[in-house]
Amino acid sequence: MDLATLSSSPATTSKAPMSLLVIGTLAYDTVETPFDRRERALGGSAVYFAMAASAFGPVRMAGIVGEDFAASDLELLRARGVDTQGIEHAKGESFHWGGSYAPDWNTRTTLFTRLNVLEQFHPKLPKSYCESHYVFLANAEPAVQLEALAQCSQRKFVVADTMNFWIDKYLPDLKRVLREVDGIVLNDEEARMLAGETNLIRAARKVLSMGPRYVVLKKGEHGAFLIGRDAHFSLPAYPVDQVIDPTGAGDCFAGGFMAAIAEADNTEPRTLRRAMLYGTVTASYCVQGFSIEDIGRRKRPEIEARFQELLQITTV
Ligand code: AMP
């Protein structure tokens, strides 16, 4: 596949607005980077995903928040065109996660995971959400991912995410998720943990044998792989000259990736490859700011400009 083929607009762009749903967490994050510390910054897997994907078109979002969740934060999402009807309001506190990054930026330590209202979350999707064609099960408890998925009767392509916290505690449910979805996104540590293999290619193949057709392997600043039974695509990260906060990069990658697929309304090999480029671009904007400060203001033309730049620097 050459540069011109990947850079031209999708062959079959759907005229209907994209039909994309995300189910995941809305959170307040306490994050320590080598240079800064923020208490209760807006975060959560579904928030980052939606902030990235909404640069492409409308996004439906399902999750749960507590009484402490600021109305202004929900307004930020709505202002981006995110449908927030599926966000449940519960008594108690919102999900709160704390993490810190080592000076190399690649090593992240989870300091605490306070599930709070997440412990009582059983998604009941609004009727309009159940018609979504493209579904992203963002990082959340696998049983909750399954409950949500069972309601998506019109789904065409489903991708899930997970993390060490869930692999460690809820492996049997996670294996059921793997049997139900078309794709899974994992970082290198998660892939090794899930497959029990150190070599990443062998780990990805083992994950494929658990059910999904595609594994997207995120390797932080080293880029990402798309591995399928008959597909292999590898891409470096976009070279960002100043990383401010890597939190949410994986979710923003997924947001760009899924939005590009939902917009094209097909999962042909070329669409998946283009989606990998879009995911790389949205992740790169994410790490340039704290929380959603950078990705939350990016518009489509800026994403297109970086997409073209990424093509130029990765092709002969
Ligand atoms: P990422 O950097 O892409 O892995 O995503 C970080 C986001 O995931 C943060 O905003 C957290 O609030 C959220 N998060 C952290 N742990 C969990 C978990 N166990 N389940 C769901 N979301 C989580």
C-beta separation of 142 from 194 below 8 A: no
Give the Å distance between the CA of 230 and the centre of ligand 1.
30
Q: Residue 184 forms beta bridges with which residues?
A: 160, 215
pLDDT digits (tens, 9 = 90+) for 123-173: 999 999 999 999 999 999 999 999 999 999 999 999 999 999 999 999 999
Phi, psi for residue 298 in degrees, rounded to 5: -75, 140
Which of 145, 163, 245, 285 has most ligand 1 atoms within 8 Å of its beta carbon, as the pocket-test mutant?
163
Nearest to 218 by CA among 172, 170, 163, 271: 163
**5 vs 208, more confident:** 208
Give the model's confidence band at 9: pLDDT under 50 very low, under 70 low, under 90 confident, else very high.
low
pLDDT digits (tens, 9 = 90+) for 79-89: 999 999 999 99
User: pLDDT above 70 covers what percent of the chain?
Assistant: 95
Give the Å distance between the CA of 315 and the centre of ligand 1.
33
Give the Å distance between the CA of 139 and the centre of ligand 1.
7
What is the mean predicted confidence (pLDDT) over 12-37? 89
Rounded to an integer, what distance in angstroms lies between the CA atom of residue 192 and that of residue 188?
6
Which atom, in ligand 1's list, is nearest to the CA of 165?
Answer: 19
Amino acid in the structure at residue 200: L
Q: Whose alpha carbon is nearest atom 15 of ligand 1? A: 97
Sign of CA dihedral 34, 113, 61, 268: positive
pLDDT digits (tens, 9 = 90+) for 284-305: 999 999 999 999 999 999 999 9
Rounded to an integer, what distance in angstroms lies between the CA atom of residue 288 and that of residue 284?
7
Give the Å distance between the CA of 45 and the centre of ligand 1.
5
**pLDDT at 109 (0 to 100):** 94
Give the model's confidence band at 72: pLDDT under 50 very low, under 70 low, under 90 confident, else very high.
very high
3-state helix, strand, coil in the chain (%, to 5): 40, 25, 35
**pLDDT at 219 (0 to 100):** 86
pLDDT of 280 > 60? The answer is: yes
Q: How many residues does the structure list for the chain?
A: 316
Ligand 1 pocket (Cβ < 6 Å) reads 25, 27, 29, 43-45, 97, 113, 139-140, 163, 165, 247-251
pLDDT of 5 > 60? The answer is: no
Which of 22, 97, 106, 292 has most ligand 1 atoms within 8 Å of its beta carbon, as the pocket-test mutant?
97
Nearest to 181 by CA among 206, 227, 150, 217: 150
> What is residue 226's three-state secondary structure?
strand
Average pLDDT, the chain: 94
pLDDT of 216 > 90? The answer is: yes
Rounded to an integer, what distance in angstroms lies between the CA atom of residue 314 and that of residue 182?
27
